[in-house]
Amino acid sequence: MNLAALQFDEDKHEYRLDGRVVPGVTTILKPISEAEYRHVDAATLDVAAWRGRAVHKLIELDLRDDLDVDGLSDELLPFHTAWRNFRNLSGFKCLLSEARVYSERYGYAGTLDLFGRLDGEAALIDAKRTVAVPRSVGPQTAGYEQAVRESHPDAVAQCASGPGDGRINRYALHLRADGSWRLVPKTDPNDARVFLAALTLHNYLEKAA
């Protein structure tokens, strides 16, 4: 698979493969996330989205040893503390960070947060800095799992074990504003079904538009 042909327009939050628009994981799951946050006003959601992007960038730069910690705002420092504590205490070994993924089988793309080895097993981790871990992270990580298996098979083969293509454990990494963290396993076997159902609905609505 030629991932170099997969382009992402951050302003539009739009993926294109060979010039053709393909749906992204978060766009596919938008009806679910909108339902979860239907009682939150738009301005609050915009601020939360900005903070989320900032924390993801913080993690990406830290993994590249290119993070200016002294330049972080007071608002971001607790999340940096939580991330560093997780990284130091968990033993997580990162193979992929902010990695573009694409499922040729199902025709969607995405950008996963973290993939690597944790406790001797393959681990796909989505970092969250929300007050609570949203339910949508289960289907979200299931979507990323399918896509990373297809687009980064070598990385998966390095750490996935067990029958077939090997097991990948999925998690939400909850980074809190008080500097603490918790790792939340996502084990619902229905997560993949929910994601594919959301993808089917998205494609149906796109064709009807």
Structure tokens at 63: 């993994």
What is the domain class of 3-208 according to CATH?
alpha beta
The domain ranges of the chain are 3-208
Segment of 11-20, 29-38, 189-198 carrying the highest mean pLDDT: 189-198
At 110-129, the pLDDT tens digits run 999 999 999 999 999 999 99
pTM over 0.85: yes
Task: Let me know if 135 is exposed, middle or buried by CB neighbors in 10 A (0-12, 13-18, 19+).
Answer: middle
| pLDDT at site 202 | 96
Chain mean pLDDT for the chain: 92
Residues 6+ apart with CB under 8 A from 166: 122, 156, 157, 159, 160
| pLDDT at site 113 | 97
